[in-house]
Amino acid sequence: MLLIVLLLLLVLPLLLAALVLFLVCPGLPRASLRKPFVGRSYAHRGLFGVQQSPPENSLPAFAAAARNGYGIELDVQFTEDRKLVVFHDDTLDRMTSVPGGVQETPWPVVSALPLAGSGEHAPLFTEVLQTVARANPDTPLIVEIKSRYEYRGRYLVELCRAVLAALKTYPGPYCIESFDPRVVRLIRIMAPGVVRGQLVDSYRNHRIYGTKALPAYLLSHCFGNLLARPDFIAWCPDKRNWAVRLCAALGAMMVMWTAMPDHDIARLERDNDAVIFQWYEAEPKYK
């Protein structure tokens, strides 16, 4: 009996460790596919100023980033009438001073709203792709598909399909990321040859934003990798937790978001395969 208990005490932790490893493990390294994205600096929402001149996620911001040799990170989501718009927030108020959700507002209304009091408006994804291609067709893109918990089945499928269809017209390299493991899983199924990434925020930040404790822990510790098997982990400025360090050790490409002027840029570039930056003059290629 004692021997059985000792064996259980030995075997159970090993089984638990194996289970956790299976759940958190990223996809197998695909060096040739991720090569165009490594060692690059990505302008967060385009190359925009502290005073929103030009505004974030605007055509001038994207053109400036491409002309200066940077990669670009951007955000896409549906309007009410299923137009793919490049806009970060769920709601319109911060960038347009008009209340309402992006997904609940039709494109003709969104397109008429000035961004940050400028003459620019939120662009369609196709407009952005055309603008970047004209400025520098080799610009690598990190495309974040925006999602929310309440989105379900067909909506997410149609959103992912629309993004992939639009990207087929883009001549340069692109990859896709999302905070939602369901979205990354759909990209894995629909476009297995496309580099995919899991955006991960810290447990602390999840709790600040109101996420309940268990979902906050699971999301911040990459348990969604079971669904997504991502090529890269895009991690926030907080110290890496054990799961993120494990993903890096298992060969996942590491992307940092968002590097700011007060960060230790040299360390971030040393520790990450790609850096998404904002409000400082980065080296377009640092590796």
What's the pLDDT score for residue 17?
85
Query: What is the mean predicted confidence (pLDDT) over 89-110?
Result: 96
| Amino acid identity for residue 270 in this structure | R
User: pLDDT (tens digit, 9 = 90+) per residue, 184-243?
Assistant: 999 999 999 999 999 999 999 999 999 999 999 999 999 999 999 999 999 999 999 999
Task: Provide the token pair at 145.
Answer: 């598909």
Query: What is the mean predicted confidence (pLDDT) over 48-54?
Result: 93
CATH superfamily of 39-277: Phosphatidylinositol (PI) phosphodiesterase (3.20.20.190)
Q: Kindly tell me if the per-residue pLDDT of 8 is higher than 90.
A: no
Identify the weakest region by mean pLDDT among 145-154, 158-167, 231-240: 145-154
What's the pLDDT score for residue 15?
84
Question: Looking at per-residue confidence, does 11 or 231 come out higher?
Answer: 231
**Chain-wide mean pLDDT for the chain?**
95
Question: Looking at per-residue confidence, does 83 or 2 come out higher?
Answer: 83
**Catalytic site residues?**
44, 88
CA–CA distance, 192 with 178 (Å, rounded to integer) = 15
Residues 6+ apart with CB under 8 A from 261: 279, 280
Q: Produce one character per residue of 3-32: b if its CB has 16 or more CB atoms within 10 Å, e if not.
A: eeeeeeeeeeeeeeeeeeeebbbbbeeeee
- What is the percent of the chain with per-residue pLDDT over 70, rounded to a whole number? 97
What's the pLDDT score for residue 5?
60
Query: What is the mean predicted confidence (pLDDT) over 263-277?
Result: 97
What's the pLDDT score for residue 215?
95
What's the pLDDT score for residue 152?
83
Domain range list for the chain: 39-277
pTM recorded for the entire structure: 0.95
Q: Kindly tell me if the per-residue pLDDT of 2 is higher than 80.
A: no
Identify the weakest region by mean pLDDT among 6-10, 34-38, 227-231: 6-10
Cis amide prior to 258 (ω within 30 degrees): yes
Q: pLDDT band at residue 271, thresholds of 50, 70 and 90?
A: very high
Q: Kindly tell me if the per-residue pLDDT of 9 is higher than 70.
A: no
